[in-house]
Chains A and B, each alone.
Chain A
Amino acid sequence: MSVLRKSTVSAIALAMVLTVGSGLAEAKDKVKVGFIGPLTGGVSANGIGGRNSADLAVQLRNADANAKYEYEMVALDDECKPNVGVQVATKAASDKHIIGGVTHYCSAVAIGAVDIYNKFGLPVIVWAAVLPDITYGNKHKEVHRVNGTMINQNDVAADFVAGLGYRNWVIIHDTTDYGKGHNKYFSEALAKSGGKILATFGVTSEQQDFTAELTKAKALNPDVIYFGGLTPIGVRIRSQMEKLGIAAEFQGTSGIMSDAFITGLGPLAEGTLAFREGAPVDKLPGGKFFVQKYKEQGYPESPEAYGPFAFAAMNLLLDTIEEVGPNRKKVRKVLNKTSDRDSIVGKISFDDHGQNTVAAITKYVVQDGKWVVWEDSEYASGKRMLVGMK
């Protein structure tokens, strides 16, 4: 017992010495910021890429001698599961030392967490989730978003793919808010573009076998199979399409835009279409800078498609804290007024729902195992043809 007590006392003493020591060594105040994304599970590649990118913004800021504060990023894992997301969001929001957050890749998680940020008054910037309701479904002043929504994405997607000469679609979507949203907005956009939807299938996000749905789809002989959902079941659906001999174009959304989609499918990924807000990283105003700095930090994983958005969101948050100090209310107020701000993903302007209004959509196609911008691809130049394209 006495041994235990002694060691506790000495541990406390040691901790005190260390704290005082470090306090003396660094004159800057410490400020905590949060990052939330899926760090484990099927879409963790995207979450880890985002975390690294946000971390990069923090590291660069800490290396900057002019910065007023020293920042510490608290990275939390929402596993892309709404129930887990709500827990970690509460954890971050109730920690008074965390001034702001860069949060969520998965829409189904983000939509559940926004009310918590509002309740606890934690200003957050969404870095990748695309469900419109995250910003437009509420009046929470705390919630902002740097990336565009799935409305813009699906408008462009429907227009573009119908423009290629395709007429008949079968839609498969997962039954989370994310998949249902994609189904809704794509169906609406397609009606305007003149495409026809032959059937719509809702599937669960844990489903393994899609042969029944796909066989039914095959009977309808669609030109395109549209998939609204995330990478893991996107991989399963595309590979089972092949097993059933379905010769249709596979069109995805930003949810399958990851390197994991291509590694999971190998050559089968060729010719898959997907759409994402913003320009590709090497065409962004600060893309080169970002790629170079990311490399210098030596992260083992790639930043993935949404890394630059996480970086831009974190940078914006840090800029704001620098400007008004570590106070949640002041940060929120200034963030709300963000307009025409330069970032590596282009100008950022928030509307009265905190939504970034600048939303350019880029079209991508898989060519030789890479996501290539449509305009630069051999498919656009006519050298290669998509499945069933006339």
Chain B
Amino acid sequence: MNPATNEEMKNAKTGPDPAAGLICPVPIAEYKNVLLAHGGGGRLTQQMVRKMFLPSFKNEYLEPLHDGAVVPFNGMRMAFTTDSYVVNPIVFPGGDIGELAVNGTVNDLAMCGARPLYLSAAFIIEEGFPMADLWRVVLSMQTASRKAGVELVTGDTKVVDRGKGDQIFINTSGVGRIEPGVEIHPNRAKAGDKIILNGPIAMHGIAIMSVREGLEFETRIESDTAALNDLVMTMIGAGRDIHVLRDPTRGGLASALNEIAETARVGITISEDRILIDEEVKGACEILGLDPLYVANEGKLVAFVAPESADRVLAAMRGHPLGKEAAVIGEVVGDHAGTVVMKSRIGGYRVVDMLSGEQLPRIC
């Protein structure tokens, strides 16, 4: 068949319209071009994933839309995941793009309850990128993968013309093994589950913003980037009835909880006064007009744990360096399915919604 545009095919009424198979091509119909918000982790990202990618590649492993796919292999279950890192600036307080690329993918595997084993790394580098900077990135990937106990076993390098990329983009994929008896999945959240958060939120996003061009402000805030697999293994050791794990990265805690509420069709109630936020992070959010609930984390996780195991899991977390400040922030409830409700510090209630697009600072 000769190549033809959608328009020609529609006009000719011959042959199938490639868009016709999609259930509801909302992102195509409403947006002629991809917006930044399509990558922001909020509702637009979700629409694109659910209405474009999911129907196009429909299969039982993709469908759960977990942090990684869980696939059977030789009688075992493997977790498989991929992520791309395009952070700007590439070096920020508390880390750099290399460390992030290892930790992020390790964490995606850990959120499936898997023990991360192998990583791949693909680099897209802009012509002219200083070799010294590349060394720095590579060395921090080396350190991070050693710390996380994973091996980087394959990779790829592409260099693009100057101006066609932004210094360096890294993609990492990873595989890990899930032990028998571990069943961690967003749709397993059920009424009564306690929701545990391992520490203060919004540090990564604010650390990045503090050094972004045009926005520099002085702060001690550092990114919380960390590999969470060891913490997760400790938690699983303490209680096998962990139902859901999620690292609230892009889109923040609010988006992560909303995704779980929607996937499991459960209601979630959280208390604002239980959610730790560093004083400086709070101050920065006030000044920038941002809500810390929507600011990115790179070393945080939320765990949905059966109530009878919550104390044991919480105690185990508090004994781990990455969970010292862990706390129960809320629970899964029987009503308002699909919705996250927060008890505010002054005792009022509000819905914590998914972001519609990027979080835009308010005027006043």
Co-assembled chains A and B: no
